């Protein structure tokens, strides 16, 4: 068993973990920093929505992990299996025990495909797809192109999920494609969401409802996908009425776009670092753990009540980097995260409603514009600027757009 030690150990080399490593290294080049990350691939997940609409090359959403890990950071290719915060160490599956002075947890969340009966057997065939997987987003586009008529169903599971707008984005972009091809009269699109409202921030609901009407979408709220039979092309939903009574209904489909239920990762749920729901329990402003001061959390795995997005991670890493370094020196933590998250809602091909909001649903636009309006400029931002910014700035510790507006 090895007992390697680092100044800072980061668990997870995804969007938040890699960006944080870069931001800390820029500020304090002499620190020894390791990222523990089992995957040899790093994904830019926000573009998968565009892949599912034929607007982005899926191969441009993945790079070797070795390229995403910032310069000067040690990559330990292993999975953490256990946290021992009292001993300031983590246990891994392949590299033994790793010790730290400070720890950052950035392991993301679990896509619980098994949470819907029959789903795993039929994903990727029988017209069942999901933009939430690298290998399936191109299948979404294939299905959208092939469908000439019939029932197209899009689903959204209970919150929290990463990028809460992504289930709707798949719906609107598919409908836009069918409308452009004059097929919408023959294709009936339905949206089934577990949530009681179309979107969590009320200012965006009516602008989105305009698209629900434009595409003649059959909208069903409080409706949760629970079972799929791919070969029989049938989906079952639990529908909750105003009194809380639940009825099970079945619906036939020709195309089914599923967003899986999402939970905390199992290895985190079993650790001493989490709250009752399994999320890493950090202060929502400082991102410091509430019981272990040398532990911080960033990205989708934390208990902070923001929208779980890469945009949130972009802002959080700056806060966490500054607070980590202050904590090392025994100083008061200087930076506060205000809950910024962003959701570029692709309402039609070439236009986006760029929802940006902080804690409590407060709208915090980066640009001085009415963010409830669909815009071509926001589309160009998402399709061209943000992917470039991600690979070339965010993962390199260059904090453009990470400090402005909402973040203070
Ligand atoms: P991830 O990037 O998922 O990284 C977590 C890492 O932890 C992974 O590399 C994983 O291998 C690693 N890990 C897991 N278990 C262990 C372990 N045991 N030990 C060590 N490491 C481990 N965000 C936006 O801002 N805008 C959007 O438009 C947008 N659209 C999206 C559309 C889709 C379809 C999806 C799926 C996501 C979208 N997101 C969007 C969300 C965004 O991608 C995530 O919020 C972001 O990637 C979170 O970063 P993270 O580092 O917390 O998690």
- CATH number for the domain harbouring residue 198: 3.50.50.60
Check 301, 343, 404, 407 and give the catalytic one: 343
Q: Please say which residue of 207, 237, 261 terminates a domain.
A: 261
Is the CB of residue 17 below 6 angstroms from any atom belonging to ligand 1?
yes
Cβ(247)–Cβ(257) below 8 Å: no
- Taking alpha carbons only, the member of 331, 336, 301 closest to residue 315 is 336
Cα of 13 vs centre of ligand 1, distance in Å, is: 9
Is the CB of residue 132 below 6 angstroms from any atom belonging to ligand 1?
yes
pLDDT tens digit sequence for 200-257: 999 999 999 999 999 999 999 999 999 999 999 999 999 999 999 999 999 999 999 9
**pLDDT above 80 for 406:** no
In a domain, 365, yes or no: no
Please tell me whether residues 126 and 241 are part of one structural domain: yes
Is the CB of residue 50 below 6 angstroms from any atom belonging to ligand 1?
no
In a domain, 216, yes or no: yes
Cα of 88 vs centre of ligand 1, distance in Å, is: 25
pLDDT tens digit sequence for 298-320: 999 999 999 999 999 999 999 99
Per-residue confidence at 78, pLDDT binned at 50, 70, 90?
very high
> What's residue 341's pLDDT?
95
> What's residue 407's pLDDT?
35
In a domain, 255, yes or no: yes
Cβ(212)–Cβ(180) below 8 Å: no
**pLDDT above 70 for 74:** yes
In a domain, 320, yes or no: yes
Does this model's pTM top 0.85? My answer is: yes
> What's residue 142's pLDDT?
98
> What's residue 400's pLDDT?
78
> What's residue 252's pLDDT?
98
In a domain, 118, yes or no: yes
Is the CB of residue 98 below 6 angstroms from any atom belonging to ligand 1?
no
Please tell me whether residues 257 and 268 are part of one structural domain: no
pLDDT tens digit sequence for 127-162: 999 999 999 999 999 999 999 999 999 999 999 999
In a domain, 250, yes or no: yes
Q: How far is CA 256 from CA 76, 126, 140, 231, 309, in A?
A: 39, 9, 9, 12, 24
> What's residue 402's pLDDT?
75
Please tell me whether residues 198 and 170 are part of one structural domain: yes
In a domain, 117, yes or no: yes
Please tell me whether residues 125 and 253 are part of one structural domain: yes
Is 343 tagged catalytic? yes
- Taking alpha carbons only, the member of 109, 337, 347 closest to residue 207 is 347
Instruction: Tell me the sheet residues that pair with 288.
Output: 296
Range from 52-66, 84-98, 107-121, 354-368 carrying the lowest mean pLDDT: 354-368
Is 163 tagged catalytic? yes
Please tell me whether residues 128 and 246 are part of one structural domain: yes
Please tell me whether residues 93 and 118 are part of one structural domain: no
User: Which residue among 9, 10, 12, 389 has the greatest number of ligand 1 atoms within 8 angstroms of its CB, and so is best to mutate?
Assistant: 12
Please tell me whether residues 93 and 152 are part of one structural domain: no
Of ligand 1's listed atoms, the one at least distance from the Cα of 298 is 52
Please tell me whether residues 146 and 285 are part of one structural domain: no
Please tell me whether residues 117 and 255 are part of one structural domain: yes
Is the CB of residue 163 below 6 angstroms from any atom belonging to ligand 1?
yes
- What DSSP string runs through 295-317? EEE-GGGB---S-BSHHHHHHHH
1 or 93, which is more confident? 93
Please tell me whether residues 168 and 307 are part of one structural domain: no
Please tell me whether residues 25 and 163 are part of one structural domain: no
Domain that holds residue 190: 112-261
Number of domains comprising the chain: 2
pLDDT tens digit sequence for 355-383: 999 999 999 998 888 999 999 999 999 99
In a domain, 408, yes or no: no
Is the CB of residue 258 below 6 angstroms from any atom belonging to ligand 1?
no
User: Closest Cα to atom 49, ligand 1: which residue?
Assistant: 15
> What's residue 276's pLDDT?
98
Instruction: Tell me the sheet residues that pair with 235.
Output: 228, 251
Is the CB of residue 141 below 6 angstroms from any atom belonging to ligand 1?
no
Please tell me whether residues 148 and 15 are part of one structural domain: no
Cα of 42 vs centre of ligand 1, distance in Å, is: 9
Q: Please say which residue of 244, 261, 278 terminates a domain.
A: 261
Q: Please say which residue of 261, 288, 313 terminates a domain.
A: 261
Cα of 83 vs centre of ligand 1, distance in Å, is: 20
> What's residue 3's pLDDT?
60
């Amino acid at each position: 068993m090895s007992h390697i030690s680092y100044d800072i150990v980061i668990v997870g080399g995804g969007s938040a973990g890699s960006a944080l490593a870069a931001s800390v290294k820029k500020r304090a080049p002499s620190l020894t920093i390791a990222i523990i990350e089992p995957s040899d691939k790093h994904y830019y997940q926000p573009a998968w929505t565009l892949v599912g609409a034929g607007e982005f090359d899926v191969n441009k959403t993945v790079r070797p992990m070795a390229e995403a890990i910032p310069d000067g950071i040690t990559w330990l290719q292993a999975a953490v299996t256990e946290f021992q915060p009292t001993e300031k160490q983590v246990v891994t599956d392949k590299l033994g025990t790793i010790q730290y002075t400070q720890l950052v947890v950035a392991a993301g969340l679990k896509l619980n495909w098994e949470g819907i009966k029959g789903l795993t057997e039929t994903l990727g065939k029988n017209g069942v797809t999901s933009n939430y997987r690298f290998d399936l987003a191109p299948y979404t586009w294939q299905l959208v192109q092939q469908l000439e008529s019939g029932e197209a169903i899009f689903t959204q599971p209970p919150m929290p999920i990463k990028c809460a707008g992504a289930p709707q984005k798949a719906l609107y972009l598919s409908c836009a494609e069918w409308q452009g091809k004059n097929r919408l009269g023959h294709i009936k699109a339905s949206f089934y969401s577990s949530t009681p409202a179309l979107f969590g921030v009320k200012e965006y609901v009516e602008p989105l409802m305009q698209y629900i009407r434009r595409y003649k979408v059959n909208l069903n709220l409080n409706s949760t996908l629970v079972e799929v039979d791919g070969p029989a092309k049938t989906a079952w939903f639990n529908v909750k009425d105003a009194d809380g009574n639940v009825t099970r209904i079945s619906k036939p489909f020709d195309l089914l776009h599923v967003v899986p239920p999402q939970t905390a990762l199992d290895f985190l749920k079993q650790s001493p670092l989490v709250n009752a729901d399994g999320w890493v329990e950090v202060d929502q402003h400082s991102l410091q753990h509430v019981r272990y001061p040398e532990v911080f959390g960033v990205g989708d795995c934390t208990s902070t009540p923001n929208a779980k997005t890469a945009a949130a991670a972009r802002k959080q890493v700056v806060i966490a980097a500054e607070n980590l370094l202050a904590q090392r020196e025994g100083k008061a933590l200087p930076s506060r995260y205000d809950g910024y998250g962003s959701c570029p809602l692709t309402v039609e091909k070439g236009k986006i409603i760029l929802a940006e909001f902080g804690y409590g649903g407060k709208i915090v636009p980066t640009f001085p514009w009415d963010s409830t309006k669909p815009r071509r400029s926001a589309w160009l931002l998402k399709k061209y600027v943000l992917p470039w910014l991600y690979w070339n700035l965010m993962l390199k510790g260059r904090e453009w757009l990470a400090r402005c507006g909402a973040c203070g």
